Structure 1
């Protein structure tokens, strides 16, 4: 995420004396999990964590009656669970019946010195100063400010821990907006033997490719056809300019690392060659970079269209078709693994 106001509250050095392993990253989930794994002794790059979680996705979502009635996500659903499954670590989100129970559980873990992975809606995180709800955003809670009224969290590219009032964090942890519904979702990693196994990495790559190929009308490559067919509805919407700009942001700006997460996934494929040399022989990373270029070109068309006087349906359709062709070329090659 990169939407931060210059007036956002920044922590004073005196309130950040909390043990943590946070390093700035590009995507909320992969950077948060990277931090958590390092805290427990496994040092991986953010890109590698993203790949372990089969992070690529295409999901077309309708949210009638909202400011963004059509949304396209370019990251997979359930990413966090998949990272730990690939590492053979038992994973289950803890959920809670209400905000007070969610807060009490977090307090218990933090008092025991255990950092917690949380899902949040950026609308309630004061340092974003956002007027738009964007749930499913992963952060890590590490401890409390010296005064005890704020929870200290780490968030993606921000280098320091950030203080969040307890009430604001409780609100942020609840969302009923699909596809990222969360009820105080919390995960604490117990001490475990953490190991990256080549066969598990291979499975993560193949599973991600298969999900892109066989997702259905609203998920995977076929969701691009749904988007193309739905463009007249986007054009007819009175706020079509904002719809295009928001789609551009999701693909290129909001924690994707550029190219709809495909740049970061290509870096993962580069690294994974040390475990699976055939990846380099097949040229998978190069195919993935082709996908990244196609997504970035689409994002550029969406951004330009958001500033245009009329809806550029032909240009956007052409860009979407180019993305579809690039994704299909990658998937067909990856499935040969």
Structure 2
């Protein structure tokens, strides 16, 4: 039992799942960058009270599931989403959808994904993939961040669908049965809506823990980590930031590159020169995030470790915060042509 679904590798799991599930319905119009931008996927949060894998809770993206939800809602596409308390019912429902020819998205935990390299397996439950068929006891898997499609046994799939811990997926499954047409006008309005939503998330959430304010907040905290925590714990905190940046999907730098690509693709629907100029700013932001990750890695590996090195790391985040603030203000101030 195999559903006709083209596996296309993507940079990020949920935007890849979204574009792949909507590919046919959109006639190939909804690419990964468009899904990421319409779904307002770019974000940053630093919650110092919460701990994740022994370090501060830092996020470079919106909550799992929101990109698919926002993209579909903006495009006028109904979403079906279910969670389960029973593993048996979760498997039964999945098999019913596959038997009817319906590919489905699943939120899963990373730690027990057998096809992931061991160095990338850790306790994170916000990964997304598509199940598009079954061969005996094996499920056919299209994981957008993998080069080719793959398989999981029924036991392996159940294990990752019911992973424990923060963001536990509880067998979550989501899909759409939309078969209508997505017009260019609808895409144009959805692009504007996605930009507006992302501008709000990065500029207007109160407090220092979300958006561009949180990036600067992280920079201030990093400058204090060495004296406050000691070198060993400070290194672990920096490792946590790099892990969240570079290993969860595409991480902080990669997400900025996707958003830059979104603005370039948006230009094809809304040909306003500002979009191309702001796209360059997000590419520069992505470059800075990558440079910051190199600095943090050097500290973690012991090649650097002075207060000046931590100050330099903090300064990177100050520069990124100012650049992204400027970019989102520019997006906010665009006067859309009729």
Settle same-fold status: TM greater than 0.5: yes
Q: Which residue of 2 aligns with 1:262?
A: 256
CA distance in 1, matches of 2:277, 2:215: 24
Structure 1-normalised TM-score?
0.85
Residue in structure 2 matching 1:135, options 125, 134, 149: 125
Paired residue secondary structure (1:117): strand
Alignment CA distance shift 1:150-1:88 (3 Å)? same
Q: Which residue of 1 aligns with 2:142?
A: 154
CA distance in 2, matches of 1:98, 1:236: 43
* Count of residue pairs the alignment pairs up: 319
Paired residue secondary structure (1:143): strand
Alignment CA distance shift 1:233-1:93 (3 Å)? farther
CA distance in 1, matches of 2:181, 2:126: 25
Structure 2-normalised TM-score?
0.85
Paired residue secondary structure (2:268): coil
Instruction: Describe how 1:73-222 pairs up with structure 2 within 5 A.
Output: 73-77=59-63, 78-128=66-116, 129=118, 130-145=120-135, 148-175=136-163, 177-178=165-166, 180-195=167-182, 196=184, 197=186, 198-215=188-205, 216-222=207-213
**Cα distance per residue 1:116-149 (max 9 Å; x no partner):** 011111112111135411211010000112xx11
Q: Which residue of 1 aligns with 2:21?
A: 36
How far does residue 75 in structure 1 lie from its aligned partner after superposition?
1.3
Q: Which residue of 1 aligns with 2:11?
A: 26
Paired residue secondary structure (2:122): coil
Determine if contact 1:121/1:135 at 8 Å carries over to the other structure: yes
CA distance in 1, matches of 2:96, 2:113: 22
Counting helix residues as a fraction of each chain, which structure ranks higher?
2
Alignment CA distance shift 1:131-1:326 (3 Å)? same
Alignment CA distance shift 1:244-1:20 (3 Å)? same
Instruction: State which drifts further: 191-200 or 95-104.
Output: 191-200
How far does residue 106 in structure 1 lie from its aligned partner after superposition?
0.9
Q: Which residue of 2 aligns with 1:310?
A: 305
Instruction: State which drifts further: 250-259 or 321-330.
Output: 250-259
CA distance in 2, matches of 1:116, 1:125: 18
Q: Which residue of 1 aligns with 2:294?
A: 300
Alignment CA distance shift 1:245-1:88 (3 Å)? same
Any stretches of 5+ residues in structure 2 without a counterpart? none
Alignment CA distance shift 1:133-1:194 (3 Å)? farther
Alignment CA distance shift 1:225-1:258 (3 Å)? closer
CA distance in 1, matches of 2:200, 2:58: 19
Q: Which residue of 2 aligns with 1:9?
A: none
Determine if contact 1:259/1:293 at 8 Å carries over to the other structure: yes
Alignment CA distance shift 1:226-1:257 (3 Å)? closer
How far does residue 208 in structure 1 lie from its aligned partner after superposition?
0.5
CA distance in 2, matches of 1:112, 1:256: 33
C-alpha RMSD over aligned residues: 2.5
CA distance in 1, matches of 2:260, 2:275: 14
Alignment CA distance shift 1:35-1:281 (3 Å)? closer
Paired residue secondary structure (2:45): strand
Is residue 332 from structure 1 mapped to residue 316 from structure 2 by the alignment? Answer: no
